[in-house]
Amino acid sequence: MVFDYIVIGGGSAGAIIARRLADANIGSVALIEAGPRDEGVPAMMDISRLFELDSSTDWGFLARPTRQSSRHLNYSRAKMLGGCGNHNDCAYLVPPREDFDAWRELGGKGWSGADVIPYFDRLEARITVERRPENHPFSKAFIRAGEELGLAKVDFRSKVEPGIGMLALNAHGRFRSSSSVAYLHPLASLPPNLGILTETLVNRIEFTDRVATACITDKGRIAARREIILCAGGIQSPQLLMVSGIGDAADLRAHDIEVVHNSPGVGKHLLDHYTVPVIFETATPVPDWDITPYEAVAMLKTSPDARSADSQVQFGMTAGWFNGRFGDEYHPSAPKGRSIIALEPNIAISRSHGTVKITSPDIRIAPAIDMNYLSDADRYDEDVLLRAIDFCRRMGKTESFGRIVTKELLPGPEVAGEELLRNYIRNNCQTYYHASGTCRLGSERDPGAVLTPDLKVKGVVGLRVCDASVFPAMVSVNINATVMMVGEKAADMIVDDAK
């Protein structure tokens, strides 16, 4: 089989790129996805039914939260057309412009706040974004509790700034408006120059004289006449690069992989949002929610020195996320049941960076994922969490929360004082699942940057990476909107180059 363009991975970014390239009529396009089709599968389409998904549509990765830890997190990654955009909670937030101005300062020419806004606009012309109404009594209590502590009410759909309010979802009612839904469905009416190959695993990318020429898959070799666009996400894009010969030369040789290009930055600079939740018991079972238990959020400025919000707090009307959803253990003594709520403060832009390393030249063998949380030398991350957790605990004592909350279960009243709380934090980090930054873009001169600002893989020809792994720095809110924006912008770059 031969196509002009091959897109590897039909997730949040890949689905957009494949459709945009096909519509631009610059040649034939293959979208290769390891997982199954999504259309018409209720658990993938209906946000309120995502709990019905089982391990067959997840890659089942494990990650070490800290270098000191022997404990592992289940690091969920969706394996299906639509990728993680089809099993996430659809929280849709456009980061503040300054987050992208920082990308520009890190060598991301063309990625400043002003540069990327048109691509969010393009995205929003295609997907549906709806504000959650402030109906649920517990969401209301969360917002009132924040207001009691001095937070301003914010419409996060219009602007992300310190404050508290309801979220917007990329959804139409309870049905997700993920990239595959908005750009690929109905699958029966795709343009004739777009082929979607699902349940097809790319084992490696083949190079001929440093030119990316084909994908070797479990169904055979698929050749690309013009470009291969790698969109396998923040964990697997670096993994695929490494097994294909692009990465730290010494690491590759240790696995008998022929080095195509020595790029030490591949798999480094793993970014994430992570949390140590505060969990309360409620006086009555949580009243049923209609779509998702995650519909309200706060952005905290925990320090007067912070330029803007430095912690996001997701309000969960459940603590079942970690122990019920993907089989993860939330905490050895995690309370189960329906009379609990969780406040999940994170570090908006963490200073700790982790790694993804291959453990085998075989793509089917999971990489080692070392989140390396709380590792920054000046303890910035830990300090932000400390202050944010303190705020969440104080929310539990407000009059508004006092009406619904009976006691703090975790960290629990016995965890009193700074040292005990720091110790608690170090042992209880959990993820928001925002792996990114592992093939970061940057200037030509930056040896750690894997990609040029136009997302081309340095050292080879005919290969780009376009997904969450390109982030040169974390953005301060949930990342899916930004990943989809990357898809829109990448498609524009590829089409421009073809003309």
Ligand X SMILES: Cc1cc2nc3c(=O)[nH]c(=O)nc-3n(C[C@H](O)[C@H](O)[C@H](O)COP(=O)(O)OP(=O)(O)OC[C@H]3O[C@@H](n4cnc5c(N)ncnc54)[C@H](O)[C@@H]3O)c2cc1C
Spatial distance between the Cα atoms of 401 and 414, rounded to a whole number of angstroms: 20
Residue 245 makes contact with ligand X by CB under 6 A: no
Q: Which of 139, 236, 244, 372 binds ligand X (CB under 6 A)?
A: 236
Q: Which of 44, 53, 83, 437 binds ligand X (CB under 6 A)?
A: 83
Question: Shortest distance, CB of residue 73 to ligand X, whole angstroms?
Answer: 11
Question: Shortest distance, CB of residue 203 to ligand X, whole angstroms?
Answer: 7
Question: What's 78's DSSP letter?
Answer: B
Region of 147-155, 226-234, 418-426, 490-498 interacting with ligand X (CB under 6 A): 226-234
Residue 88 makes contact with ligand X by CB under 6 A: yes
Q: Which of 478, 485, 488, 489 binds ligand X (CB under 6 A)?
A: 478
Nearer to ligand X, 229 or 421 (CB): 229
Whether 434 sits among the annotated catalytic residues: the reply is yes
Q: Which residue is nearest to ligand X (CB)?
A: 11
Nearer to ligand X, 108 or 411 (CB): 108
Spatial distance between the Cα atoms of 240 and 30, rounded to a whole number of angstroms: 18
Q: Which of 31, 78, 369, 451 binds ligand X (CB under 6 A)?
A: 78
Residue 13 makes contact with ligand X by CB under 6 A: yes
Q: Are strands 61-64 and 368-370 parallel, antiparallel or unpaired?
A: parallel
3-state secondary structure 148-159: HCCCCECCCCCC
Q: Which of 136, 185, 273, 434 is catalytic?
A: 434
Nearer to ligand X, 143 or 232 (CB): 232
Mention every residue, 6+ apart, whose C-beta is less than 8 A from residue 176: 44, 45, 46, 47, 85, 86, 90, 169, 170
Residue 181 makes contact with ligand X by CB under 6 A: no
Nearer to ligand X, 233 or 462 (CB): 233
Q: How many residues bind ligand X (CB under 6 A)?
A: 42
Residue 246 makes contact with ligand X by CB under 6 A: no
Residue 145 makes contact with ligand X by CB under 6 A: no
Site string for ligand X, 24-43 (x = CB under 6 A): --------xxxx--------
Spatial distance between the Cα atoms of 136 and 189, rounded to a whole number of angstroms: 39
Question: Shortest distance, CB of residue 200 to ligand X, whole angstroms?
Answer: 6
Residue 370 makes contact with ligand X by CB under 6 A: no
Residue 483 makes contact with ligand X by CB under 6 A: yes
Nearer to ligand X, 272 or 370 (CB): 272
Question: Shortest distance, CB of residue 263 to ligand X, whole angstroms?
Answer: 19
Region of 2-10, 338-346, 369-377, 440-448 interacting with ligand X (CB under 6 A): 2-10
Question: Shortest distance, CB of residue 397 to ligand X, whole angstroms?
Answer: 28
Residue 240 makes contact with ligand X by CB under 6 A: yes
Q: Which of 18, 205, 480, 494 binds ligand X (CB under 6 A)?
A: 480
Catalytic residues, which ones? 434
Which chain residues interact with ligand X by CB under 6 A?
8-14, 32-35, 76-80, 83-85, 87-91, 201-202, 231-234, 236, 240, 363, 433-434, 467-468, 478-481, 483
